[in-house]
Amino acid sequence: MILIMALSFEEFRASLVSADGRGRLGIQLTDAEAQQVHADPASAQSWYAYWLSTPAAAAAVPAAPQVPPVPTAPAGDHDLTRIMPAAPVAYAAASPYPSALPPTSAAETPKKKNVGLWVSLSILGALLLIAAIVVVFAFSTARHWTKVDVPEKPETFHSEEFETGRFDVAMDTVNPCVVDQDWTDCINAMQAQYDANCAGVELTESATSLCADYLSAIDEMRALDEPGSYVATLGDYGSLSRTAEIDTREVSNNDQQDAVTHEAVCYLGFLGECE
């Protein structure tokens, strides 16, 4: 009877640390991966169970020395007794191992993932710092100015006539007296003309001069007045008329409008409302 022995777990585990040993076992692991499996008994046990389920296990196991047959069977009958490797465990059969390390637990995060996380966090932190610096600089250097939305509308005017409150006095050629009229009656007629047009009102400069001359003529006639005197001829003075003085002035149309503005802000010379 020939007895073939499988490698023990410890022999299998010891063979992992060398490339030749892994080659004989048919295990495709790098040196770093093999070191990790060797250092972890649970992982090494899983790989050992997986390896026993592969054809490489029988090919890699050396034959044990021959032992004399035990005469337990009748003459002519020969039984070949062989110790086979244990059947693959359920885990190894359901999930054949790849050439990489078996899955690690949630607590066993690879170092390279931690390094990538720190690099990402560092980049994110640097970007946030740059953004904060830009925001602070933009607000500290912001330029405030007044933007005109609707321009100012200036006031406009129109001309209109108005009475100044003064009066103009004119004299025509029709004398208020008649020939052969009593002298005193003629004086009274001229005085009535003066009172109706020159007295009690504010006169213009030309009207003031005319009325003063007219009154002077009346005073001269009074000085010449004698009982029984009459008008022999008509003089140069005529009848008076009065009109209100008219002038023109500029009057507002009340259409002035202030400009519509608001306070604008310009950031960094191009953001916001910039001129």
The domains of the chain are located at 9-105, 157-252
Q: Are 145 and 256 in contact (CB under 8 A)?
A: no
The C-alpha atoms of residue 45 and residue 92 are separated, in whole angstroms, by 11
pLDDT (0 to 100) of residue 107: 45
CA distance readout (Å), 67 to 3, 79, 83:
8, 13, 14
pLDDT (0 to 100) of residue 116: 84
**3-class state of residue 260 by DSSP:** strand
pLDDT (0 to 100) of residue 112: 64
pLDDT (0 to 100) of residue 72: 36
pLDDT (0 to 100) of residue 27: 85
Q: Are 214 and 198 in contact (CB under 8 A)?
A: yes
pLDDT (0 to 100) of residue 92: 37
The answer for residues whose C-beta is within 8 angstroms of residue 9's C-beta and 6 or more apart is 44, 45, 48
List average pLDDT for each run of 10 residues in the chain, which is 275 residues long.
Answer: 61 87 86 90 90 75 38 36 35 39 47 80 94 93 92 95 96 95 95 97 97 96 91 92 96 94 92 89
pLDDT (0 to 100) of residue 38: 87
The C-alpha atoms of residue 177 and residue 190 are separated, in whole angstroms, by 8
The residues pairing with 182 across neighbouring beta strands, listed in sequence order, are 230
The C-alpha atoms of residue 18 and residue 11 are separated, in whole angstroms, by 12
**3-class state of residue 255 by DSSP:** coil
| Angle (deg, nearest 10), helices 205-223 and 183-197 | 160
**3-class state of residue 171 by DSSP:** strand
